[in-house]
């Protein structure tokens, strides 16, 4: 990558500046990761008041997604970093789906999100956990982020990651089908 020197500032020193030009896809990934980070940061206090571990998890998600957005903003990411971004976001989506269907087994009891939640028991048949517009917008941002980050990978890694994502999706559908029996 070529380095360009800026004009001398009042300090009399020269500062290097990278010639990194982001694509529209990278800008979209920055926006989506930032949106998810802000959503998790905004939700941290209410989740912390319900269960400290949940609040800490949301704070960690906000930090991780914010760091991903910053890293994308600063310079191109390696395939290894993109892979971490993809699979980390897949894990976040999986935790969300579990929390809205089967429930988090170790979570304390709570009457919130539209119904009574019983730890370790399915909340879909009797007391479906509320899914709001804010939840769905954040989920959509994370799913789009997965697609964009996968598209930014090198061709070989993109093909392998896409195949693995397909298998993860099929496994989730199979588990959903089995649990519906």
Is residue 61 predicted with pLDDT exceeding 60?
A: yes
Report which of 79, 76, 66 is spatially closest to residue 22, judged by C-alpha positions. 76
Q: What is the DSSP annotation of 14-38?
A: --EEE-----HHHHHHHHHHHHHHH
Report which of 79, 87, 78, 88 is spatially closest to residue 156, judged by C-alpha positions. 79
How far is the C-alpha of 59 from the C-alpha of 89, rounded, in Å? Answer: 15
Whole-number pLDDT of residue 130: 64
Whole-number pLDDT of residue 108: 65
Enter the tokens of residue 137: 């917008």
How far is the C-alpha of 77 from the C-alpha of 95, rounded, in Å? Answer: 25
Q: With helix as H, strand as E and coil as C, how does 82-131 read?
A: HHHHHHHHHHHHHHHHHHHCCCCCCCCCEEECCEEECCCCCCCCCCCCCC
Enter the tokens of residue 25: 């896809």
What integer is the mean pLDDT of 6-28? 61
Query: What 8-state DSSP symbol labels residue 4?
Result: E
The pLDDT tens digits for 82-125 are 999 999 999 999 888 887 777 776 666 655 544 554 444 434 44
- Torsion, Cα 140 144 147 153, to 10 degrees, reads -140
What integer is the mean pLDDT of 59-63? 95
Q: Which residues, other chains included, contact 92 with Cβ-Cβ below 8 Å and sequence gap of 6+?
A: 36, 61, 142
| Domain ranges, ordered by start, for the chain | 21-176
């Amino acid at each position: 990558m070529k380095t360009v020197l800026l004009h001398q500032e009042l300090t009399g020193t020269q500062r290097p500046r990278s010639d990194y030009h982001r694509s529209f896809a990278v800008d979209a990934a920055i926006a989506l990761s930032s949106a998810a980070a802000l959503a998790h940061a905004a939700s941290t206090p209410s989740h912390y008041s319900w269960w400290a571990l949940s609040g800490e998890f949301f704070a960690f998600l906000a930090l991780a997604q914010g760091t991903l957005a910053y890293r994308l903003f600063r310079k191109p990411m390696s395939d290894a970093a993109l892979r971490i971004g993809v699979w980390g976001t897949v894990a976040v989506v999986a935790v969300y789906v579990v929390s809205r269907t089967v429930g988090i087994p170790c979570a304390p009891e709570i009457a919130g999100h539209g119904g009574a939640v019983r730890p370790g028991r399915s909340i879909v048949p009797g007391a479906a956990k509320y899914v709001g517009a804010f939840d769905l917008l954040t989920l959509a941002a994370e799913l789009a982020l997965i697609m964009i980050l996968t598209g930014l990978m090198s061709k070989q890694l993109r093909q392998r990651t896409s195949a693995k994502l397909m298998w993860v999706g099929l496994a989730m559908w199979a588990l959903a089908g089995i649990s519906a029996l």
